[in-house]
Amino acid sequence: MPAPIRPVALLGARLLDGRSPDAIKQGVLVTDDQGRIGAAGSGAAAAPENAERIDLTGLTVLPGIIDCHVHMALRLEPVHDQVQRSATDIVVRCLQAGREFLEGGVTTVRDAGYAPAGVKRAFASGAFPGPRTQVSCRPLSQTGGHGDDWTPSGAILATEMSDLPPAVADGPDAVRRAARLQIRAGADWIKVMATGGVLSAADSPDASQFTVEEIRAIVEEARAAGICGTLAHAEGTAGIKNALHAGISSIEHGDLIDDEGIDLMLERDVPLVPTFNINFSLMDEDRVTRGEVPPWAIEKMRYLFERQQHNFRHAVERGVRVVMGTDSFAGMYPPAELAYMSQYGLGPFRAIQAATSEAAKLLGLTDLVGTLEAGKEADLIAVSGDPLAEPELWRDPARIVFVMQGGRVVADRRGA
């Protein structure tokens, strides 16, 4: 069982609460014995006698990072390594990735595919350290779509797991059943592959996949079950609009979105989850040399990249709500996404909001996390420097020196 939670007083830091760009200098944040924030503000906030004092002078304290698009079960690796992974190996990888994400400052995630629901339960129980987790189990794909693991050799590159049900389906009735199987397996979200993608050999990111009628059937099942919602892998222009017309909750990637798609997002208040982090990983020539990324994938990524930058800036200028998601696999570093979002048009403070309060809103967790307010869970990080003046700090893992989740210190690298 986890050790009892002790009250803590964090002293001397600059506080950015996730709501305002105006930092509180020499702030005090106090947590209680239930892992909640008791007070967060100026030095006038009194710390209880029994609180442990932690001096964070010179650091900036922010809400814990919320990543709304990760893949804890996946890793960029050569095919000969992929086919050696058993179900047990995949679960171990999820637990390792969850710990790495948490210790790196990511205190909440939405897994966008291939992590079984047992992983979120393992983290929630305290049996293993990991972020607060919502899962989508196996993404739904049409035959030959982005989530169909068939290869021209006839081999299926997917590890069979009883709690990741089959998800390749065609037609409204079949996709309803596939969605119900994921819900039965414990999915909080249903993920839809609405277009082709970069890492699928048999399609193009421009290709639309699933009809509006099929996606609408999936959305209806998610709503009927009362789960959190639906998310669409959507890179191509037509597929983005199909997903929006069908009532999807969030658009992932959105590389080739046009003004009509932006109009739909604004009308329906659907957020964009841009995922720059994976793009840079896929364009890493060293990964191609090692066989972790096939050459045809890097060609597709280069085709998309400049278009994504332009379209993201345009969507931001028009007022589309942005939520942080990185598409990070095991072994990657999600917080760098804040630097990318800031660089490509969102700016430092809105990037922080995308990774905190806006992400909490999408996940239905605004009462728990996303801002530093009394009564919320004490999920927070401390970074060296001022991320509003120096958003590039998010690229450096060494700059996140302190992580707390639910009132428990999970990483303290102040002396490193």
pLDDT in tens, 254-302: 999 999 999 999 999 999 999 999 998 888 888 888 888 888 888 888 8
Average pLDDT over residues 241-258: 98
201-226 tens-digit pLDDT: 888 899 999 999 999 999 999 999 99
* CATH topology agreement for domains 8-63+370-412 and 65-363: no
| Between 11 and 83, residue with greater pLDDT | 11
CATH number of 65-363: 3.20.20.140
CATH class of 8-63+370-412: mainly beta
- Given a cut of 90, whether residue 29 has pLDDT beyond it is yes
For the chain, which residues make up each domain, given as ranges?
8-63+370-412, 65-363
3-state secondary structure the chain: CCCCCCCEEEEEEEECCCCCCCCEEEEEEEECCCCEEEEEECCCCCCCCCCEEEECCCEEEEECEEEEEEECCCCCCCHHHHCCCCHHHHHHHHHHHHHHHHHCCEEEEEECCCCCHHHHHHHHHCCCCCCEEEECCCCEECCCCCCCCECCCCCECCCCCCCCCCCECCCHHHHHHHHHHHHHCCCCEEEEECECCCCCCCCCCCCECCCHHHHHHHHHHHHHHCCCEEEEEECCHHHHHHHHHHCCCEEEECCCCCHHHHHHHHHHCCCEECCHHHHHHHCCHHHHHCCCCCHHHHHHHHHHHHHHHHHHHHHHHCCCCECCCCCEECCCCCCHHHHHHHHHHHCHHHHHHHCCHHHHHHHCCCCCCCCCCCCCECCEEEEECCCCCCHHHHHCHHHEEEEEECCEEEEECCCC
